[in-house]
Chains A and B, each alone.
Chain A
Amino acid sequence: MTAVTRNGSESDVNSARPTAKRLAQRRTRIWREKAVESLLFLAALVSVFTTLGIVYVLVSESVVFFSHVSIIDFLTDTQWTPLFDDKHFGIMVLLSGTLTSSAVALCIAIPLGTIIAIYLSEFAPFKVREVAKPFLELLGGVPTIVYGYFALIVVTPLLQKIWPELPGFNLLSAGMVMGIMIIPYVSSISEDAMRAVPMSLREGSYAMGATRFQTAIKVVVPAAFSGLASAYILGISRAVGETMILAVAAGMQPNLTFNPAEPAATITAYIVQVALGDLPHGSIGYQTIFAAGLTLLLITLVFNILGHVMRRKFREVY
């Protein structure tokens, strides 16, 4: 202590300035650290503002829409003709297209995705997995408009050879291609879930004389079930939000149907159709796309929350 004070008093003339300078430097340094931290925090807040922005835009435009159209008509009307003189706003019509195409997609994506996940996690040799996983990732990276083109130009004519009455635009081929597109999402989350199942469970099963297949089906799949469920649910929310495949290959005619062999518009395809035209800002037609978007967001939100709850559950088990 004394050394320090004496040192300080001795070098009053020589080191007073450096000390002050050092203190000043320290102050700017602290200030700079704080400034950087707040900047980084602001960047992190952008995502929150994005969500707020989405909710604000969709809700504020929808409120105007629902002041013209009663919410009961919106949910129960069986016609969707917002651009005609005789206006009807029954979201059921668009919803039926969305649900039907999603159902077709899931009939493809869930079985194939699950089989691929079980195979890659329990059966495949290391080399196969190393090649297959990046490949599946590439499959998920192909632009959806390209899948739409494929559904319209290749898959529909192929289906028409088997089934000549099939119209040129239909939910079936769009849904099938969408299913292929969703496979990577389903399989990668399912596989992660199954690989998170501890080795000891498998070893116990093998020790009892079970085969690989028995172990996979009776031990690993049940243990990873909530993970699988979350993969399926996230797959559903992908399918519901998919746009371009349906806009290209399923036609854009509003059609209340649950028959995949018919053409029909989905919620997303309707938004695209309106955006392609030239609707004036503030017209009722313009507001319908926000009401449709809000419906879409609510559906995917429910599925996403369900999926995350499921996923958290499977993480907590082990």
Chain B
Amino acid sequence: MASVAPNVQEIRAIIARHKRRDFIFAICGIIALMIGVLTFAALFTDMAIRGIPRLDADFFTNFPSRKPERAGILSAWVGSTLVMFVTAAVAVPLGVAAGIYLEEYAPKNWMTDIIEINITNLAGVPSIVYGLLALGLFVYQFGLGQSILSAGLALALLILPVVIVATREAIRSIPQMIREGSYALGATKWQTVRDHIVPYSSPGILTGVIIGMARAIGETAPVITIGALTFIAFLPPSPVQSEPPFINFEWLFSPFSVMPIQMFNWTSRPEAEFQVNAAAAGFVLVLMTLAMNGLAIWLRYRLRKNIKW
């Protein structure tokens, strides 16, 4: 038993070594996280430093121009707004309806399986493929042209899986007893869905919709593929007019540009002045997507905290 004393010391050394490894790995983890954080911080501050001096009222009210100091993002942000409007008008009803069907109505059969597998697969399809779909189908087959409508539809199909998955998750978290209570009072399935399921899941659905829209607003590739213009010096016709019927839909078929495409155009020019414009447009874009994603994360956080069934 003479070797006990060195053994204890050896074991202590081993423990210390292993604890040190734990510590070293924790540091590695923090460093890895910091690489992500720092990249983002660098990206954000770089664009802020270069871009903010360009951000004045003129930048938002000028059309793109050959002269970098006179160029603005008017046609781009108007185009983005109108495209987003179409996207939301299509993706939200379709996505919510599909989510409701899959959670509340769908029987367990092969058809439902196909729909579900299909949605997971669509979520993995590269965004540019949606652009090709829209180019082949909407632009040429349906003859919608290289228009706001085509772009809005393409982006709507792109974010549909996001909206469907969010809707399903929100509905799934509603306990069964809510439905049973409603049926016990004689409500039909649709009445239950309309008066209970949809209202109670709406914050969750809203979260998904905001995340989807944030993705759609930053998407460049599908919109370029459709053939959005990079240089456009006019606005689509106004959706509201002074003569009856007051609303017109000509804007749906108008050529357009969007924010990310405007930024792409400026980024790919060799002149440094245009890259200042790109930084400014990028800064606006990042702020918008950050605000939308942040809002969604905050909503979800509040939801988790407040709702206890």
Give me the interface of A with B, judged by CB distance under 8 Å.
29, 32-33, 36-37, 39-41, 43-48, 50-51, 53-54, 56-58, 60-61, 111-112, 115-116, 118-120, 123-124, 132, 134-139, 141-150, 152-154, 177, 180, 183-184, 211-214, 216, 234, 237, 240-244, 247-248, 268, 271-272, 275-276, 281, 289-290, 293, 296-297, 300-301, 303-305, 307-308
Is there an interface contact between B297 and A134, defined as CB atoms closer than 8 Å? yes
A61–B21 alpha-carbon span in the complex (Å)? 57
Is there an interface contact between B289 and A149, defined as CB atoms closer than 8 Å? no
Q: Please classify the interface of chain B as helix (H, G, I), strand (E, B), loop, or mixed, using the class held by over half of its residues.
A: helix
B137 on the A face (CB < 8 A): yes
Is there an interface contact between A43 and B36, defined as CB atoms closer than 8 Å? no
Q: Report chain B residues within 8 Å CB of A139.
A: 36, 39-40
A162–B305 alpha-carbon span in the complex (Å)? 49
Could you pull out 22 A-B pairs where Cβ atoms are within 8 angstroms? A46-B94, A54-B129, A58-B132, A60-B136, A116-B36, A120-B29, A136-B36, A137-B293, A139-B39, A142-B286, A143-B220, A145-B218, A146-B218, A149-B279, A150-B46, A211-B22, A234-B124, A271-B225, A275-B135, A296-B128, A300-B124, A300-B126
Is there an interface contact between A211 and B26, defined as CB atoms closer than 8 Å? no
CB-nearest residue of chain A to B136: A57
Is there an interface contact between B115 and A44, defined as CB atoms closer than 8 Å? yes
Q: Report chain B residues within 8 Å CB of A119.
A: 25-26, 28-30, 32-33
- The residue among B18, B164, B211, B267 with the most chain A CB atoms within 10 A of its own CB is B267
Q: Report chain B residues within 8 Å CB of A301.
A: 121
Is there an interface contact between B129 and A50, defined as CB atoms closer than 8 Å? no
B106 on the A face (CB < 8 A): yes
Q: Report chain B residues within 8 Å CB of A142.
A: 40, 43, 218, 286, 289-290
CB-nearest residue of chain A to B158: A50
Is there an interface contact between A47 and B29, defined as CB atoms closer than 8 Å? no
Q: Report chain B residues within 8 Å CB of A58.
A: 129, 132-133, 136
A293–B135 alpha-carbon span in the complex (Å)? 12
CB-nearest residue of chain A to B217: A143
- Nearest CB of chain A from residue B299's CB, rounded to whole Å: 12
Is there an interface contact between B220 and A47, defined as CB atoms closer than 8 Å? no
Give me the interface of B with A, judged by CB distance under 8 Å.
18-19, 21-22, 25-26, 28-30, 32-33, 35-37, 39-40, 42-43, 46-47, 93-95, 97-98, 100-102, 105-106, 114-115, 118-122, 124-133, 135-137, 140, 157, 160-161, 164, 188-190, 211, 214-215, 217-221, 224-227, 230, 260, 263-264, 267-268, 275, 278-279, 282, 285-286, 289-290, 292-294, 297, 301
- The residue among A61, A212, A216 with the most chain B CB atoms within 10 A of its own CB is A212
Is there an interface contact between A41 and B227, defined as CB atoms closer than 8 Å? no
Is there an interface contact between A116 and B101, defined as CB atoms closer than 8 Å? no
